[in-house]
């Protein structure tokens, strides 16, 4: 690294090259302050710490940033690492520099977090900092770039963590902000440290391919140049190499080998006007045959990060495919510098963020983060927002929207507004009604049809692709299920109270609240929800209000709700989501009936289950079901045993159950004053046959009074 060490004089030379009247004194002062602050510190490899802020400032000077940014870069670690304060910096360097250093100090803590939640939190912080002043994030990026370049000095675990974070968070933001060169650097450096062997292999193969095809590409370049000259069109023609991580991604995505990647090498033509771009493309297509489907016009419709270029692939002179990118000087600058171009040093020192789509993207993102309850969902949204494969569609008003490939009218509706998503009932594409699961195509004009009386359906989750739509639908369903569960819970409890000749007025009583607390829920509403969802049975609640507590209650309270399983069918519909009811614990072989719950699939009951009476209040929700027993799967079943209370009875019963290879999931026993033992089992059985055989065995044991399910 020693050769790359930047001195303050190097930095000043760089700055003067693009800004003759730059405030060099400010930079010298910042350098001296920073050197003193870091005087006792070294980088991990042993070099003086000041090399790091100098390197960071140099990266920013290469991006032609203003001296305020560069001074802040020189000072970015001083408050974090020394006794210097933001106040000192304000006094010495003014408000702007102090503001930037302060923001960076706050951000610096984020590098030490690992969990996804924390990562999402970091992301929020970055966005907020960025919204205040984009220069904060540009310095942060430069800081990360220098750290990535010197990552080899860190222990492996730390290296991998930082590289993963760079790939997951920094690269997508940089891509979205349009800083092409930095995205490439972040991706390749991360790739190098995360998958070193693969990185080396791909880099080696790229070099080899370059060597092999050098002559061939030169031939193509010369031919294009000659033709442009004939037609009197300006154009700089050069060959380019796709970056390693880009190739790796392509191999992964298309499941192909390096040898099958056609556009490792390509040609870029930079010309003077938009019109020339199209003319040049025409010339190339007349020289060689274009590959169908490979022509992309990002000039007509720019990518969401403002990238503009024409792309086309042709069958070159020797039958090899060659990819061309054609763009203007200005488009090339946007492709490389993105948002940074707006922050470049300008003669009058004024920055132009007017008309910057990056800024409006940022604002939208920050707005949307307020709506996300879950930080993880938010991170997914952001990652989702940077998926490069997009389709462009038009609203009836002619506004253009970009959405990930595979998006449906529902995705579009949610991207316009949450309420439009919720109320969406249909869509028209070019005047024709399409299904909601229709996959949008480039250029579609899409009209969303809404209805006030409508809400999203769980089915939508099967076809929407944007995170935004997914999380909004889930939120809605959650809220809706809750409302319906409260209603259902109240109705079920009322019915149970009535059965015991108790008044509905009980429902809101303190006693019920006590019962709720005893059952582990904190409010009446929670209790109703739990009953409505079937987490707590109404009998459990009402039994607690009654003087005595039969064994059924004890057992069902302790039985964990069985996990969701598959393998039953309803009128021939396979693989629906179901639970077995924990009031009757049906097993294959029983006569069954299904109860459609709100949002939690179907609960399977034994036809004899006494709860069905109550559930039948909503006849429409009862369905015929058929159980297809599968292999060795076991199901929970309940047995209630009454026995003469004598020593050893419990041990005998357990041994008997185990001897027939049945697992006991739960066991609970109590005895009454008249010396009767009540024993409740939750067992895991294969089917009714096995259970019946076991019941007979238990019944024949000495001292057993009664066995029932």
- Point out which residues bind Mn ion (CB under 5 A): 77, 143
> How many other CB atoms are found less than 10 A from the CB of residue 531?
26
Q: 3-state secondary structure string, 611-675? A: CHHHHHHHHHHEECEEECCCCCCCEEEEEEEEEECCCCHHHHHHHHHHHCCCEEEEEEEEECCCC
* CB closer to Mn ion, 146 vs 423: 146
Rounded least distance, CB 107 to Mn ion, Å: 10
- How far is Cα 56 from Cα 59, in angstroms, rounded to an integer? 5
**Nearest distance from C-beta of residue 29 to Mn ion, angstroms:** 19
Write phi, then psi, for 599 (nearest 5 degrees): 80, -5
User: How far is Cα 185 from Cα 180, in angstroms, rounded to an integer?
Assistant: 9
Q: What three-state secondary structure class fits 304? A: coil
Q: How far apart are CA 531 and CA 535, in angstroms?
A: 6
Question: Which of the following is catalytic: 10, 80, 223, 668?
Answer: 80
Q: Which of 307, 358, 303 is nearest to 335 (CA)?
A: 307
339, 399, 465, 523 from 441: Cα distances, Å? 29, 15, 14, 49
CA atoms of 44 and 150, how far apart (whole Å): 9
| 176 three-class SS | helix
C-beta of 27: minimal distance to Mn ion in Å?
A: 17
CB of 229 to Mn ion, least distance (A): 49
CB of 76 to Mn ion, least distance (A): 6
**Residues 128/173, Cβ–Cβ less than 8 Å:** no
Residue whose pair of structure tokens reads 């579609």 in the numeric block: 444
Is 453 in a helix, a strand, or coil?
Answer: coil
Residue (51 or 77) nearer to Mn ion, CB: 77
Place of tokens 């802040």: 72
Residue placing its CB nearer to Mn ion in the complex, 77 or 323:
77
Closer of 52 and 401 to Mn ion (Cβ): 52
Please report the sign of the dihedral spanned by the C-alpha atoms of residue 295, residue 300, residue 302, residue 303: negative
Buried b (16+ CB within 10 A) or exposed e, 354-373: eebebbebbeebeeebeebe
Q: Which is nearer to Mn ion, 77 or 263 (CB)?
A: 77
- Whole-angstrom distance, CA of residue 274 vs CA of residue 423: 42
Q: Give the shortest CB-92-to-Mn ion separation in angstroms.
A: 20
Return all residues near 360 (Cβ < 8 A) that are at least 6 apart.
Answer: none
In the bound state with Mn ion, the residue whose beta carbon lies nearer, of 143 and 553, is 143
424 phi and psi, to 5 degrees?
Answer: -70, 125
CB of 81 to Mn ion, least distance (A): 9
**Distances in Å between the alpha carbon of 179 and those of 46, 142, 175, 186?**
32, 12, 6, 11
Provide the angle, in degrees to the nearest 10, between the axes of the packed helices 467-499 and 409-416: 90
3-state class of 47 per DSSP? coil
Instruction: Kindly tell me which of 103 and 247 has the beta carbon lying closer to Mn ion.
Output: 103
Residue 379 CB, nearest approach to Mn ion (Å)? 24
Residue 483: how many other CB atoms lie within 10 Å: 12
Comparison of 98 and 486: residue with beta carbon closer to Mn ion: 98
Q: By C-beta, is 142 or 593 nearer to Mn ion?
A: 142
Segment holding 544, helix H or strand E: helix 538-545
Residue number, nearest CB to Mn ion: 143
Q: Tokens 């710490």 map to which residue?
A: 49
- In the bound state with Mn ion, the residue whose beta carbon lies nearer, of 108 and 671, is 108
Asked if residues 655 and 686 have their Cβ atoms less than 8 Å apart, the reply is no
Q: How far is the CB of 366 from Mn ion (least distance, A)?
A: 25
Q: In angstroms, what is the minimal distance from the CB of 89 to Mn ion?
A: 15
Q: How far is the CB of 223 from Mn ion (least distance, A)?
A: 48
At its nearest, how many Å lie between Mn ion and the CB of residue 177? 20
Given 9, 21, 51, 81, which residue is catalytic?
A: 81
- Residue 79 or 284 with smaller CB distance to Mn ion: 79
Burial class (CB in 10 A: 0-12, 13-18, 19+), 413: buried
Strands (E), 521-588: 568-570, 578-580
Residue 97 C-beta: closest distance to Mn ion, Å: 16
In angstroms, how far is the first alpha carbon of the chain from the final one? 77
Of 77 and 185, the one with the shorter C-beta distance to Mn ion is 77
Question: Active site includes 80?
Answer: yes
Tell me whether residue 81 is one of the annotated catalytic residues: yes
Q: For residues 571, 575, 579 and 584, what is the CA-based torsion angle, rounded to 10 degrees? A: 40
Q: What residues pair up with 667 in beta bridges, in sequence order?
A: 681
Here the tokens at position 624 are 């015929």
Longest dimension (CA), the chain: 112
What does the radius of gyration of the chain's CA atoms come to, in whole angstroms?
35
In the complex with Mn ion, which residue's Cβ is closer, 88 or 143? 143
Instruction: Give 3-state DSSP helix, strand, coil % of the chain, rounded to 5.
Output: 55, 15, 30
Catalytic residues: 80-81
């Amino acid at each position: 690294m020693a050769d790359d060490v930047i001195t303050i004089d190097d930095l000043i030379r760089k700055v003067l090259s693009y800004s003759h009247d730059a405030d060099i004194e400010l930079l010298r002062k910042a350098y001296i302050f920073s050197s003193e602050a870091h005087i006792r510190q070294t980088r991990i490899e042993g070099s003086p710490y000041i090399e790091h802020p100098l390197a960071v400032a140099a990266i920013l000077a290469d991006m032609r940033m203003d001296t305020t940014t560069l001074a802040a870069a020189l000072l970015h670690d001083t408050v974090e690492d020394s006794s210097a304060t933001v106040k000192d910096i304000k006094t010495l360097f003014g408000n702007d520099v102090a503001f930037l250093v302060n923001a960076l100090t706050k951000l610096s803590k984020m590098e030490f977090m690992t969990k996804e939640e924390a990562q999402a939190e970091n992301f929020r912080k970055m966005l907020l900092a960025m919204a205040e002043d984009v220069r904060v994030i540009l310095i942060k990026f430069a800081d990360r770039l220098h750290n990535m370049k010197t990552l080899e000095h860190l222990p492996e675990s730390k290296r991998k963590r930082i590289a993963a974070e760079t790939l997951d968070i920094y690269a997508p933001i940089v891509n979205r902000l349009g800083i092409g060169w930095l995205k490439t650097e972040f991706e390749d450096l991360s790739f190098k440290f995360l998958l070193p062997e693969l990185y080396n292999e791909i880099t080696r193969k790229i070099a080899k391919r370059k060597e092999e095809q050098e002559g061939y590409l030169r031939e193509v370049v010369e031919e294009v140049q000659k033709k442009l000259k004939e037609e009197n069109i300006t154009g700089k023609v050069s060959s380019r190499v796709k970056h390693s991580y880009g190739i790796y991604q392509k191999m992964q995505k298309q499941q192909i080998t390096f040898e099958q990647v056609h556009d490792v090498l390509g040609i870029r033509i930079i010309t003077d006007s938009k019109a020339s771009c199209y003319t040049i493309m025409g010339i190339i297509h007349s020289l060689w045959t274009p590959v169908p489907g490979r022509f992309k016009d990002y000039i007509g419709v720019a990518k969401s990060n403002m990238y503009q270029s024409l792309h086309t692939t042709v069958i070159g002179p020797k039958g090899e495919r060659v990819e061309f990118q054609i763009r203007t000087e200005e488009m090339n600058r946007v492709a490389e510098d993105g948002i940074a171009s707006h922050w470049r040093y300008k003669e009058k020192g004024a920055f132009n963020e007017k008309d910057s789509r990056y800024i409006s993207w940022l604002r939208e993102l920050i707005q949307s983060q307020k709506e996300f309850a879950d930080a993880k969902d938010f991170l997914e949204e952001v990652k989702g927002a940077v998926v490069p494969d997009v389709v462009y569609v038009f609203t009836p008003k002619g506004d253009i929207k970009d959405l990930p490939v595979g998006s449906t009218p529902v995705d579009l509706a949610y991207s316009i507004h949450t309420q439009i998503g919720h109320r969406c009932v249909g869509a028209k594409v070019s005047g024709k009604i399409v299904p909601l699961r229709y996959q949008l195509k480039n250029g579609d004009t899409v009209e969303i049809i809404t209805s006030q009386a409508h809400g999203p359906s769980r089915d939508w989750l099967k076809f929407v692709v944007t995170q935004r739509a997914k999380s909004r639908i889930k939120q809605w369903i959650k809220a809706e299920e809750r409302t319906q569960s409260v209603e259902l819970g109240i109705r079920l409890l009322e019915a149970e109270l009535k059965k015991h000749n108790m008044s509905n007025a009980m429902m809101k009583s303190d006693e019920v609240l006590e019962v709720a607390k005893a059952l582990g829920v904190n409010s009446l509403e929670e209790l109703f929800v739990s009953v409505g969802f079937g987490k707590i049975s109404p009998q459990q609640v009402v039994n607690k209000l009654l003087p005595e507590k039969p064994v059924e209650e004890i057992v069902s309270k302790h039985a964990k709700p069985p996990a969701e399983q598959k393998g039953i069918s309803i009128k021939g519909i396979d693989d629906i989501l179901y639970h077995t009811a924990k009031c009757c614990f049906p097993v294959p072989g029983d006569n069954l009936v299904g109860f459609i719950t709100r949002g939690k699939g179907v609960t399977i009951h034994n036809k004899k289950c006494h709860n069905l009476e109550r559930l039948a209040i909503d006849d429409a929700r009862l369905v015929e079901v058929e159980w297809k027993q599968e292999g060795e799967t076991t199901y929970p079943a309940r047995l209630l045993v009454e026995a003469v209370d004598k020593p050893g009875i419990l041990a005998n019963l357990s041994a008997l159950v185990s001897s027939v290879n049945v697992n006991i999931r739960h066991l609970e026993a109590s005895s009454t004053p008249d010396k009767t033992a009540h024993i409740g089992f939750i067992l895991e059985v294969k089917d009714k046959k096995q259970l019946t055989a076991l019941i007979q065995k238990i019944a024949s044991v000495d001292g057993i009074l009664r066995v029932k399910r």
